[in-house]
Structure 1
Amino acid sequence: MKSLEVKYLGLTLKNPVVVSSSGLTSTVDNIKKMEAAGAGAVVLKSLFQEQITHEAQAYEHEGDYPEAHDYIMSYAVNNSVEEYLKLIREAKQAVSIPIIASINCTSVGEWVSFAKRIEAAGADALELNIYFLASNKDMNAAACEAQYLGIAAKLRSIVTIPISVKMPKTFTNIPHMVDQLYYRKINGVVLFNRFYEPDINVETMKVESASVFSSPSDIRESLRWVGIVSAAVPLVDVAASTGIHSGEAAIKQLLAGAAVVEVCSVLYKKGPKAINEILEFINGWMGKHHYKSIEEFRGKMNPKNLGSLDVYERSQFMRYYSSHE
């Protein structure tokens, strides 16, 4: 009998398919649908630091009493956080799969106080969705990295539940950053974060948002680094994200060394049934190749087990293109 059970962030999941943080995980009803479709865990829609601040400022501007500033700001912030805590508590009562909270932050700020409340509400783990675009020419790479490491270390000192960091693909040395997170007792990383991407409308002459959804070809952005990171820092769990639209894509990431795969865009396009389709493919593939558990093949195709980084590095690029005229 085949087992799809996996370990992620110290949690036992019935399978490696995790629903990524999005509007699909913002209500208990949706979370129940994801569980019914077979999801191994869900990451709740992020609690946004900037959104809370903007909402608080909106409340403030509605009145003309400066002396009420602190009260209004406190009320708006607490109201947003309490709604999120309510979602955690209700989701934990409604489903049996792990509930991973998510906070989207640009600095330590209020997260120090929020994190404890998130843990107390019953979240099984916490995913840090750090949004920090390095666009200041006077800030060097080390300072940018310190921003991430500082947030991770501070929150690690506040809560005891497992923590993962959703990382961008823009670091100079991704394995080094993951290693630094490991030394700060971070349990896992998600590769990679999808930031807001701008587009320009040449007719209206306005900057607009590009599509927020991934495509199947986007798996190339994460597959290489899932393999390299899982081999270089094996004690940190890697969640593969971006471009996972099929069971075949999920198998590729597991072979590269991912502990789990996070799916989102495919669920918007096909609905929760996509989870079941992915799981059916994994089951069928395992049967065809005579694997009884995911751990038997997980990481089989990462550089450590292949004995070389060549297939993930530039040498393969040169070998491929030099043979084409």
Structure 2
Amino acid sequence: MTKLNTSYLGLTLKNPIIVSSSGLTNSVEKIAKVVEAGAGAVILKSLFEEQINHEINKQIQQGEGYDYPEAMDYITGYTKDNSVGEYLKLIADAKAKFDVPVIASINCFSSDEWIDFAKKIEEAGADAIELNVHVVNTDKNIEASAIEGLYYNIAENISKAIKIPFAIKLGDNFANLVAVVNKLYALGSKGVVLFNRFYQPDIDINNLTLNSASVFSTPSDIRKSLRWVAIVSDKVEQIDVSASTGNHDGESVIKQLLAGASTVQVCSTVYKNGAKVITEMLNELSYWMEEKGFDSIDDFRGKMSYKNIPDPAMYERAQFMKYFSSLE
């Protein structure tokens, strides 16, 4: 009998599959479906700082008689407290109903305002927090180090504010990702998620409008994370790496674990195929482990990571010349 249990951020999971922060986890009813299908943990849908600010502005613009400071402060406080309150209730309800780790999620672009929220999340009973931080820099006069500093500031402040573990969900656009992860670990982050899937713009050439590209990942997107999961899990061994984006079947779960991932996050495939795909992924993982003679996840985790393969340069190579030079 294979053992699928694993650990992430110091938490014990019955298996390594985590349902990512999304509409799949924004209610107790939806969470029940993925937990029943076998999810090892869930990350609640993020509460967006931008979303709260938008709602505040909407209330102020629609209201009458709110053109004096006291009324503006009241509306701002009430709207924020209401949004946060609903989220804290979801945490408490999920913790009371399910026996899997419940990880909260904050999607922010500043740090100070979220310290109090992080404390409230901890009080509500969340097992951990995932921080979604992303800055699109359009200022040609700002150095990359200044942008990285924003991540470090958030990690340091959150680490001082709460006792429960947290992970930071990163994009793949850092000049030196390994150094960034290492610094985040030093500042208190227990894990990183590789990688975040951000809004991507697209252009409609017929109507000359700017639209959103597909919000779903594809199986080929696993290439974006597999390389860095293998490298980061070796270079910063103390930190847990959760693999995200492009994980659509059991084979992708196996690959990410072989690369060194602590856990594997799924989202798009659940939207496309329903919660049953989680069960199918777990069955495929178990069958593969039995076939290969592995009793537990730890028996093969990292077996194909950066340091454990004969030619680690395979993960470093950036050009196709070696493979395509013979093709005409």
TM-score normalised by length of structure 2: 0.97
For residues 142-291 of structure 1, the aligned pairs below 5 Å read 142-291=145-294
- Kindly provide the amino acid, as one letter, of the partner of residue 83 in structure 1: E
Q: 1:131 aligns with which of 134, 144, 157?
A: 134
Number of corresponding residues: 325
The one-character-per-residue Cα deviations of 1:165-187 (angstroms, maximum 9, x if unpaired) are 00000000111100000110210
Distance across 2 between alignment mates of 1:48 and 1:34: 23
Q: Hey, what's the Cα distance between the residues in 2 that align with 1:132 and 1:289?
A: 43
Residue 307 of structure 1 and its aligned partner are, at CA, apart by 5.2
User: Could you tell me how far 1:305 is from its partner in structure 2?
Assistant: 1.6
Secondary structure of 2:36's aligned partner: helix
Indicate the residue corresponding to 1:57 in structure 2.
57
For residues 221 and 191 of structure 1, what CA distance do their matches in structure 2 show? 9
- Three-state SS of the structure 1 residue aligned to 2:307 is helix
Query: Quick check: 1:6 aligned with 2:14?
Result: no
Q: Hey, what's the Cα distance between the residues in 1 that align with 2:97 and 2:318?
A: 51
Aligned to 1:17: 17
TM alignment of 1:22-37, pairs within 5 A: 22-37=22-37
Partner Cα separation in structure 2 for residue 242 and residue 96 of structure 1 = 25
In structure 2, the residue corresponding to 1:148 is in which secondary structure?
Answer: helix
State how far apart, in whole Å, the 2-side matches of 1:81 and 1:9 are.
24
Q: CA deviation at 1:296?
A: 0.5
Identity %: 54
Q: 1-side partners of 2:238 and 2:325: how far apart?
A: 37
CA distance in 2, matches of 1:252, 1:317: 21
For 2:244 and 2:314, the matched residues in 1 are separated by: 21
**What 5-or-longer segments of structure 2 have no aligned partner?**
none
Q: Distance in 1 between matches of 2:112 and 2:77?
A: 14
Query: Does the CA contact (< 8 Å) of 1:2 and 1:291 recur in 2?
Result: yes
Secondary structure class of the residue paired with 2:270: helix
Alignment of 1:33-48 (within 5 A): 33-48=33-48
Report the Cα distance in structure 1 between the residues aligned to 2:248 and 2:292, rounded to whole angstroms.
Answer: 22
Q: What RMSD over aligned residues (CA atoms) do the two structures have, in Å?
A: 1.2
What CA distance in whole angstroms lies between the structure 2 residues aligned with 1:323 and 1:179?
40
Specify the SS of the correspondent of 2:222. Answer: helix
**Which of 313, 316, 320 is the equivalent residue of 2:316?**
313
Give me the whole-angstrom Cα distance separating, in 2, the residues matched to 1:63 and 1:41: 45
Aligned residue type for 1:64: G
8 Å Cα contact 1:310-1:316 kept in structure 2: no
Letter in 1 for 2:274: G
Q: Tell me, which stretches of 5 or more residues in structure 1 are unaligned? A: none
TM-score w.r.t. length of structure 1: 0.98
Give the secondary-structure state (helix, strand or coil) at the position aligned to 1:303.
coil
